[in-house]
Amino acid sequence: MPSIATMVLKEVLPDYGCPTLMDLARGLGLRKQYAWLLWHGKIALSLDMARRTHETFGVPLEVLMQITRITPPKRRGRLPQKGREP
């Protein structure tokens, strides 16, 4: 099992009664798009969202504070040249 620091909400919340993305969206009163970003670790969990998640699902704040967002993959392709005039 990976450490909590490498986990995202979708791996932590099922243990606290939130098995699906829609349960997260309904429980916190979020739009589906924003809930999806949180669920998959694309954006970091803010202090306010951590507090709301704690109050709604009973997840310990210590666990929520250790969850980090997924590091985006490196950019592919060539970098633009600097100082080049058209």
Q: Note whether residue 77 is domain-resident.
A: no
Tell me which residue range forms the domain holding 62.
4-66
**What pLDDT sits at residue 29?**
95
pLDDT digits (tens, 9 = 90+) for 31-63: 999 999 999 989 989 999 999 999 999 999 999
* CATH number of the domain to which 17 belongs: 1.10.260.40
Could you give the number of structural domains in the chain? 1
User: What is the percent of the chain where pLDDT is above 70?
Assistant: 88
SS (H, E, C) 65-81: HHCCCCCCCCCCCCCCC
> Among candidates 12, 11, 42, 13, which has minimal Cα distance to 28?
13
**What pLDDT sits at residue 18?**
93
Q: What is the mean pLDDT of residues 58-77?
A: 85
pTM of whole model > 0.85? no
